[in-house]
Amino acid sequence: MNSVPLLTITRRILTFFRLTSYPVWIGLSLLLVLLLLVPQLKTTATQVPLTVTEQAYLSAHPVLSVCVDPDWLPFEGIDSHQKHVGIIADLLSLMASKVGLKIQLHPTKNWEESLMASKSGQCLALSALNQTPEREQWLIFTEPLLEDPNVLITRDDHPFISDIASLTHKTIALPRGTAMAELFARDFPHLTIVYTDSETQAMQMVSDGKVDLTLRSLIIAAHTIKNAGWYNLKVSGQVPGYGNQFRIGISQSEQTLRTILNHGIAALSEQERQQIMDRYLNLKVVSEVVTDYTLAYGLGILLLAVIGTSLFWMRRLSALNQQLSVTAQTDALTQLTNRHGLNLTLEKDLERAQRYQHPLSIIMMDIDHFKRVNDQYGHLTGDKVLVQCSQILKDNLRKSDIICRWGGEEFLVLCFETSQEQASHLAELLLEKVRQHYFTEVGRVTMSAGVAQAMPQDNAETLTKRADTVLYKAKHQGRDRVCVGQDNLDSMADILNTFAKTDN
């Protein structure tokens, strides 16, 4: 925008307010807003520099056909005029303008139809979706266009959920065809999934008591609960590692297009992203020229009511999430640190030990034949065994050691300033303490352990995997023993194939 048109607009604004009965300060305010927007308009118009190959591609393919989720507001939707609207729509439009690309909507009736249209080649891209192994069969993905954590939504009387893996005999409503539905079906087989046609239907089923919980975007959870009047719902937990990273999915042959879109995504500033988010998640006030101020006063009162309601829900969600952050790192049954809590510090502890060349070892422990305990004595007795085992281990560790419930009947002990040999001795001591204990109803219980010391090239994943591998080796060799990590260990596949021939 150059100075000549801006000067013309300024004159017209001041003339209009001079010839009408409106206060001049309103005209000056409007002019100030216009001047503040000029730098942003210039920034938006700036395009990203592209290579000759990328420019040639855009010359040959200036239009990108896109399939979207038509019923996923405020993220995205298709309005009555068959127009793509919502947060994703605005981000996509802004990103496309930065690389000189035109977006063309391929309308569909629902998300499943959009997936089918993408698979059949009717549209070249899907606007925003999580990357999953199933979708990688026909799509390649850009960098995240928008990142957003998910939270668990339950009725108000449901207890907080610190570890979703500990839930049993629960039902969860998830929209069919979504990434979270695919991942939860794979990773949480103990949950019964009820598939729905939309997120709104999933929330309604929780509100009506037809299912126990659902998964919802944190960004819009409070917004949706308030607007739909679901005051009997609350945020009851998070599922670490299952947040949303919305990427553009493109047909596998379009490598050059993915590079171009990544340029546009990288050019989106945090300020631009936040402005788009605020446009949909905050109240929008539209001014129009009126001579009767009664409507304006009414809107002002309504605005105050909405702001008051929003502040109430923000404070309530803040309190809920504060309580959640305290319980999210603790296992509800054993009161030990849970896997999420240990993962928050394990990588840093490992890096510190490697940097200063200090020994650090881990012990992976598992209760032998725990499935038999549950099958023969019931899950309540099994829970008592887990609690007693955790207390025995905790009572016999050093003050510097950290123990967590790794999952199910597995425990992990993090040993600082401890070599593999020293950790092996400690593991033998712990196993002996468990052997000597008499468990009510069950009698004697044994445990197996795998020990691994951190190597210079290790990260948290490789270190825990090596410990888990030698734990399975201890199981294979007869249980009730300690195995130590070695460079020439049998492969995990060989151990699991042999171990599968016996029960747990």
Question: 357: pLDDT confidence band, cut at 50, 70 and 90?
Answer: very high
Selection from 81, 72, 74, 69 nearest residue 109 by Cα: 69
Half-sphere exposure of 434 (CA within 13 A, CB side): 28
Q: What is the mean pLDDT of residues 130-139?
A: 93
Q: What is the mean pLDDT of residues 443-470?
A: 95
Determine the Cα–Cα distance for residues 183 and 199; give it in Å rounded to an integer.
Answer: 16
- pLDDT score at 188: 92
Which of the pair, 504 or 423, is modelled with greater confidence?
423
Q: What is the pTM of this model?
A: 0.45
- pLDDT score at 16: 57
Indicate the average pLDDT of the chain: 84
Q: How far is CA 121 from CA 34, 66, 84, 106, 138, in A?
A: 43, 11, 19, 11, 10
- pLDDT score at 284: 37
Determine the Cα–Cα distance for residues 25 and 268; give it in Å rounded to an integer.
Answer: 34
Residue 282, pLDDT > 80, answer no
Sheet holding 192-196, edge to edge: 192-196, 171-175, 213-217, 150-155, 233-238
149-195 pLDDT tens trace: 888 999 988 898 888 888 888 999 999 988 889 999 999 999 999 99
Which of the pair, 14 or 1, is modelled with greater confidence?
14
- pLDDT score at 216: 84
Sheet holding 447-453, edge to edge: 337-338, 402-407, 410-416, 360-367, 447-453, 482-484
Determine the Cα–Cα distance for residues 171 and 192; give it in Å rounded to an integer.
Answer: 5
DSSP 262-298: HHHHHT--HHHHHHHHHHHHS--------S-THHHHH
Q: Please tell me the total number of residues recorded for the chain in this structure.
A: 504
- pLDDT score at 15: 60
Residue 364, pLDDT > 50, answer yes
Please list, in sequence order, all residues whose beta carbon lies within 8 angstroms of the beta carbon of residue 313, skipping any fewer than 6 positions away: 222, 225, 226
H or E element in which residue 456 lies:
none
Q: How far is CA 277 from CA 90, 123, 274, 308, 356, in A?
A: 9, 26, 5, 20, 44
Residue 287, pLDDT > 70, answer no
Distance of alpha carbon 447 from its chain centroid, rounded? 34
246: three-class secondary structure by DSSP: strand
Residue 384, pLDDT > 60, answer yes
254 given a catalytic annotation: no
56: three-class secondary structure by DSSP: helix
Q: Which one is catalytic: 143, 409, 417, 461?
A: 409
110: three-class secondary structure by DSSP: coil
Question: 426: pLDDT confidence band, cut at 50, 70 and 90?
Answer: very high
Query: Which of 53-57, 206-210, 226-230, 300-304 has the least mean pLDDT?
Result: 226-230
Q: How far is CA 16 from CA 13, 20, 38, 297, 318, in A?
A: 5, 6, 21, 24, 46
